[in-house]
């Protein structure tokens, strides 16, 4: 299976297990790498803005002399948007109706480990 296929499989599993509607692995510049998204026409906007929000929060923290955040969480009455860093080159962002921050954080931490493993395996093939 291709790297993108493996990443899409990871996102599909994540979505099913944790009431996630939208998930994407995104480059730091906002380019979607893999996604599980009901409306394909909106993936570019979701990816670009998720990367921008995480990047902006990192600038805020660094300008204050603090370590950068590992994730951002935006809450609304409709659920949560959460973005978590996957190293220096990518992030994972999700939108969920499930408002349980702790469960979603745990799920994303596990997904980050799995995604890093897929990426490491891909590099090992080069």
Cα–Cα distance between 84 and 113 in angstroms, integer? Answer: 12
Residue 126 pLDDT > 50, yes or no? no
pLDDT in tens, 66-97: 999 989 999 999 889 999 999 888 999 999 98
**Residue 124 pLDDT level (bands cut at 50, 70, 90):** low
Inter-residue contact 118 to 7 (CB < 8 Å) = yes
Strands (E), the chain: 20-27, 32-36, 71-76, 79-86, 90-96
Q: Collapse the DSSP code of 49 into the 3-class scheme (helix H, G, I; strand E, B; otherwise coil) and give the result.
A: helix
What is the pTM assigned to this prediction?
Answer: 0.90
Mean pLDDT, residues 47-62 taken together: 96
Which of the listed CATH numbers 3.80.30.20, 3.40.190.10, 3.30.450.30, 3.40.50.10800 matches domain 3-121?
A: 3.30.450.30
């Amino acid at each position: 299976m291709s790297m993108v296929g493996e990443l899409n499989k990871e996102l599909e599993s994540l979505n099913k297990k944790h009431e996630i509607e939208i998930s994407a692995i995104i480059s730091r510049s906002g380019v979607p790498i893999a996604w599980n998204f009901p409306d394909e026409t909106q993936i570019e906007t979701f990816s670009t803005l998720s990367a921008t929000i995480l990047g902006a929060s990192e600038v805020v923290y660094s300008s204050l002399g603090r370590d950068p955040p590992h994730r951002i969480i935006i809450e609304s009455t409709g659920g949560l948007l959460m973005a978590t860093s996957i190293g220096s080159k990518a992030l994972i962002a999700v939108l969920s109706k499930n408002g349980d921050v702790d469960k979603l954080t745990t799920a994303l931490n596990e997904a980050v480990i799995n995604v890093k493993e897929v990426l490491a395996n891909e590099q090992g093939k080069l």
